[in-house]
Amino acid sequence: MKLLKNIALSDTGFVFNPGTGDSFSVNPIGLSILKDLQEGKSEEAIRNRVIEDYQTDKETIEKDLYDFLKMIEQFNLTDYHE
Amino acid sequence: MKKQIYERPLIHRINTGMMNKFGTKTEYAPVSHIDGLAVKDLIKEYGSPLFVLSEDTIRNTYREAVRAFKTRYPKIQFAWSYKTNYINAVCNIFHQEGSWAEVVSGFEYQKAINNGVPGPKIIFNGPDKSDDDLRRAITNNSPIHIDHLDELYRLTELAEEMNKRPNVAIRVNMDTGIYPMWDRFGFNYENGQAWDAINKIILGNRLELIGVHCHIGTFMLSPQAYATAAYKLSDLALGIKKKFGKTIHYIDMGGGFASKNTLKGSFLPGADTTPTIDQFAESITTALLNAGFTEKDLPLLVLETGRALIDEAGYLLGSVIANKRLSDGRRATIMDFGVNILFTSFWYDHKISPAQEFSSYTEDTVMYGPLCMNIDVVRSHITLPPLKKEDHVVVHTVGAYNMTQWMQFIAMRPAVVLIGTDGKSHLIRNKETIENIESSEVMPDFLKKHALASGILK
Ligand SMILES: Cc1ncc(COP(=O)(O)O)c(C=O)c1O
């Protein structure tokens, strides 16, 4: 899954989609995941990175990441044309 | 490097220019302690879910209400409305403070007797009083509030049979400008029913009419309606004095003052819109003082306030069972309590706080209870930090009607704990057990056996 190319991310957790004018807010961990996606990291790589950085376990992040990615899709922030 | 504390990744859309319908920031500020005791310790000791009552809050709220009326009117008396919360420890706090009892059934009457309330201080209301209930109330000299003519006739017969003169009042209903009008209880003021009952009682000369009573509704937000009601009851009392030369001892204004809960569908939180007890007191006492009583005949003002005296002293502690995402993208959180024990979630958008610290990120959530039923919705929209399995929450303002109207449905009812003015927790109702529930069941002999074989499905 990839983030739309023109999505703007600010370090304060503000997300802007210039294509639609929609804006969003994310928490710090959510922001780090969006950045990973921008860099083109795979889901598995993101998962491993989060486990490295945070006090969590594989089951928890698997479940929460799945949910987070679904939300990003629903908000039309992902690129379908790859 | 030390790993960072984990929090579920969150994203939500910012709707600029729209009023946030999900509530204010204070709603999700964490509440980790109640009267100095940690939520997590209380749950560890007594289990989850758990009802918690604050003795401090009960006593302070009661004293505040007494002050509001006493500073404005010379003769007042509260009578604790048992149906609001009849756990005996709660009733006894009110009785220690000087409150009488107000009951509406033989069951509640017996509870008041068991709590040591003297008969003349138990006000007996309600449409359903059996002959045995009435006999007992007559013997104990309890004030009996007559609801309908059938009761008036029956009470007259019993008085004759027992050769006693029961103390009675009549329940009056009336138009106070509030819709819907509660006209199913008592005798109507406007159409003359109330006077008809008064004439029958006084001319019948078997019952001693000592008071007039009304209860104009519950969760009332209008002090003005009480002024109207107090004026109309005063008019009856003054009319009785004029017509029969008889002094009415008390005017009972019933209950109904709103608590600080937020009614479903209202835009502003209840804490900002509920009139204060002083506003209600001002309306009622001004009407009574200006009605035209002589100083000697000024009636005792009786109040049967329920929810406004106990709601804020009650909390429900609970825990998260699971989180899920609904098909339309909304987040749903399933709690270990539902409408079975939090009956008032049918009426109110209860304030619910997380019981542990979070970052300032929040999510709009639907909060469900654990029952396998569609109606089991605790809050249809609430803004909360990302709660995870086993996190605790505190539901506020649940002291009224939940611990009496709760249902034993699917799950058993939880324990109730009182945090005393001594700063300690005291168990005041045990968690229900399967033995409690099954002890009243009876199994007929022919149903005692069946022949289902054990074995695993293949
Ligand atoms: C006769 C009577 N008195 C007092 C009350 C207590 O009312 P509240 O809890 O609204 O103050 C009720 C409740 O319905 C009632 O019916």
pLDDT, tens digit, for every residue of B113-149?
Answer: 999 999 999 999 999 999 999 999 999 999 999 999 9
User: Tell me, what DSSP letter sits at residue B36?
Assistant: T
**Nearest Cβ partner for B4 among A23, A54, A75:** A54
Query: Which pLDDT does position B148 carry in this prediction?
Result: 96
What is the phi/psi pair of residue B101, to 5°?
-115, 145
B23 band by pLDDT with thresholds 50, 70 and 90: very low
Instruction: Tell whether A22 lies on the interface with B, counting CB pairs under 8 A.
Output: yes
- B156 CB-near residues (< 8 Å, 6+ apart): B204, B206, B207
Mean pLDDT over residues B225-237, rounded? 97
Q: Which residue has the higher pLDDT, B101 or B328?
A: B101
Query: Which pLDDT does position B16 carry in this prediction?
Result: 54
Residue reference for tokens 């209840």: B270
- Taking only Cα atoms into account, the Rg of chain B, rounded to an integer number of angstroms, comes to 25
Query: Which pLDDT does position B22 carry in this prediction?
Result: 45
CA atoms within 13 A on the CB side of A1: 22
Given a cut of 50, whether residue A82 has pLDDT beyond it is no
Given a cut of 80, whether residue B265 has pLDDT beyond it is no
Question: How many CB atoms sit inside 10 A of residue B67's CB?
Answer: 13
Instruction: Tell whether B389 lies on the interface with A, counting CB pairs under 8 A.
Output: no
Determine, for residues A68 and B9 on separate chains, whether the beta-carbon distance falls below 8 Å. yes
Given a cut of 70, whether residue B375 has pLDDT beyond it is yes
Helix runs in A1-82, H state only: 28-38, 43-53, 58-74
The token duo for B306 is 């329920």
Which of B29-33, B264-268, B360-364, B379-383 has the least mean pLDDT?
Answer: B264-268
Pocket residue to mutate for ligand 1, from B77, B81, B102, most atoms within 8 A of Cβ: B81
Distance of alpha carbon B405 from alpha carbon A44, whole angstroms: 51
Query: Which pLDDT does position B19 carry in this prediction?
Result: 44
Determine, for residues B16 and A23 on separate chains, whether the beta-carbon distance falls below 8 Å. yes
A11-50 burial, b for 16+ CB within 10 Å, e for fewer? eebebbbeeeeeebbbbbbbbbbbebbeeebeeeebbeeb
Ligand 1 center to B259 CA (angstroms): 12
Bridge partners of A55, per DSSP, are: B5
Query: Which pLDDT does position B88 carry in this prediction?
Result: 98
The token duo for B192 is 């003359």
The token duo for B7 is 């929090």
| Residue of B10, B13, B328, B384 to mutate, testing the A interface (most A Cβ within 10 Å of its Cβ) | B10
Mean pLDDT over residues B265-272, rounded? 74
Mean pLDDT over residues B201-225, rounded? 95
Question: Residues lining ligand 1, judged by CB closer than 6 Å?
Answer: B 81, 84, 102, 125, 215, 218, 254-257, 304-308, 400
Query: Which pLDDT does position A44 carry in this prediction?
Result: 94
Mean pLDDT over residues B32-43, rounded? 97
- In order of start, what are the domains of chain B with their CATH numbers? 33-52+312-433 (2.40.37.10), 56-311 (3.20.20.10)
Look at residues B253, B249, B255 and name the one whose alpha carbon lies nearest to residue B300. Answer: B249
Look at residues B91, B16, B33 and name the one whose alpha carbon lies nearest to residue B317. Answer: B33
Q: What amino acid occupies position B413?
A: R
**Nearest Cβ partner for A27 among B3, B7, B325:** B7
Instruction: Count A/B contacts: CB-CB distance under 8 Å.
Output: 63
The token duo for B445 is 């002999």
Inter-residue contact B7 to A27 (CB < 8 Å): yes
Interval B55-86: pLDDT, tens? 999 999 999 999 999 999 999 999 999 999 99
Mean pLDDT score of chain B, rounded to an integer? Answer: 93
Query: Which pLDDT does position B439 carry in this prediction?
Result: 96
Given a cut of 60, whether residue B173 has pLDDT beyond it is yes
Interval B247-263: pLDDT, tens? 999 999 999 999 999 88
Determine, for residues A23 and B13 on separate chains, whether the beta-carbon distance falls below 8 Å. yes
Instruction: Tell whether A56 lies on the interface with B, counting CB pairs under 8 A.
Output: yes
Given a cut of 70, whether residue B8 has pLDDT beyond it is yes
Cα dihedral B55, B426, B47, B259 in deg (nearest 10): -10
Q: Kindly report the nearest CA distance between residue B388 and chain A, in angstroms.
A: 10
Pocket residue to mutate for ligand 1, from B61, B78, B83, B86, most atoms within 8 A of Cβ: B83
Domain ranges, ordered by start, for chain A: 8-74
B362 band by pLDDT with thresholds 50, 70 and 90: confident
- B219 CB-near residues (< 8 Å, 6+ apart): B256, B258, B259, B261, B263, B307, B347
Q: Which residues of B touch A22 (CB under 8 A)?
A: 13
Ligand 1 center to B84 CA (angstroms): 8
**Nearest Cβ partner for A55 among B3, B12, B361:** B3
Q: Kindly report the nearest CA distance between residue A4 and chain B, in angstroms.
A: 16
Query: Which pLDDT does position B29 carry in this prediction?
Result: 81
Mean pLDDT over residues A68-74, rounded? 89
Ligand 1 center to B304 CA (angstroms): 6
Given a cut of 60, whether residue B25 has pLDDT beyond it is no
Q: Is the dihedral of CA B264, B265, B271, B275 positive or negative?
A: negative
Q: Is the dihedral of CA B133, B134, B137, B143 positive or negative?
A: positive
Q: Which residue has the higher pLDDT, A19 or B368?
A: B368
Q: Cis peptide before B180, with omega less than 30 degrees from 0? A: yes
Bridge partners of A14, per DSSP, are: A25
Which atom of ligand 1 sits closest to the CA of residue B145? 1
Query: Which pLDDT does position B15 carry in this prediction?
Result: 67
Interval B295-341: pLDDT, tens? 999 999 999 999 999 999 999 999 999 999 888 888 899 999 999 99
